[in-house]
Amino acid sequence: MAKTHISYAEAKGYYFDFYSVIAGQERIVRFPAFITNLQDSFASNWNTQNVFGRQDPIITFQNTQRTIAVGFDVPAASKREAKDNLTRLNQLISFLYPAYQKAGTANAISAAPLFRIKFANLVYDINGDPDGSVADSGLVCGIQNFQHQFYFDQAGNWIDRENQLIPMKFSISFNAVILHTHDLGFIDGEGFIGGYDEDAQLFPYNTAVDYNPVGEIETAVSADANLTRILSSEGSPTDSFSTSIQYNQRPNNDTSGITGD
């Protein structure tokens, strides 16, 4: 089975990257990102105080907090890829735990499990480059409510071995509490700081992207395991993702159609 989803992710840079601030040598985990959910929330918080004889409360601004809810699918096209994906999931889960320092017979927490996360121009730090690495351009955050789900139905399938199951598809979801690493707001005479250049708005989603508006092709990748390439214009360019990947054609316990190492 051709790994067209990998080729597509490589060509477009559509990987969701995780970088552990505290993990040591092996700090980066990345998955080809078939996004199923991306919700970005900006909450301005106000302190309210009611005063006798006044109809409206006195409100005092506190801060603006950003949280991101993410969900994506991780399919595999071969046995080797399925095992690699599961290994990456193991590593990502380990990143959720803190760093400890030995203190006699006990351990004391020395660092919180902070992350940098990055996905194209939608999840990135404007101090960095949308095309840069997650270590340099990822958003600093704490991850909450991390969940994953294995698929063992016809849509997912798995590698069936004695005392070992390796799913061919799983999904990941989590919430990220963003920690801003740059100033944001308005300064008299200077306008908005922390998100503009001469040509485009950079915060929160970089729009300084080169494209050809003539004959532009819009790509849509379905969230289901059957990936469909939809073209908004005629023709099929060489860099298009036009091959659907079928994961639901075998009985659940039949791995004869799974190829690869």
Encoding tokens for residue 15?
A: 């990987």
The per-residue pLDDT for 79 is: 87
Return the DSSP state at 157: -
Counting as low any pLDDT under 50, the low residues of the chain are 1, 211-261
The per-residue pLDDT for 13 is: 78
Q: Reduced to 3 states, what is the DSSP secondary structure of residue 17?
A: strand
Q: pTM for this structure?
A: 0.75
Instruction: Report pLDDT digits (tens) over 98-149.
Output: 999 987 788 889 999 999 999 998 999 988 887 888 999 999 999 999 999 9
Encoding tokens for residue 123?
A: 């999840």
Nearest of 247, 249, 251, 252 to residue 222 by alpha carbon:
247
> Rounded to a whole number, what is the largest CA-CA distance in the chain?
78
The per-residue pLDDT for 5 is: 75
Cα dist from 41 to 13, 45, 68, 194, 210, whole Å:
24, 12, 6, 18, 27
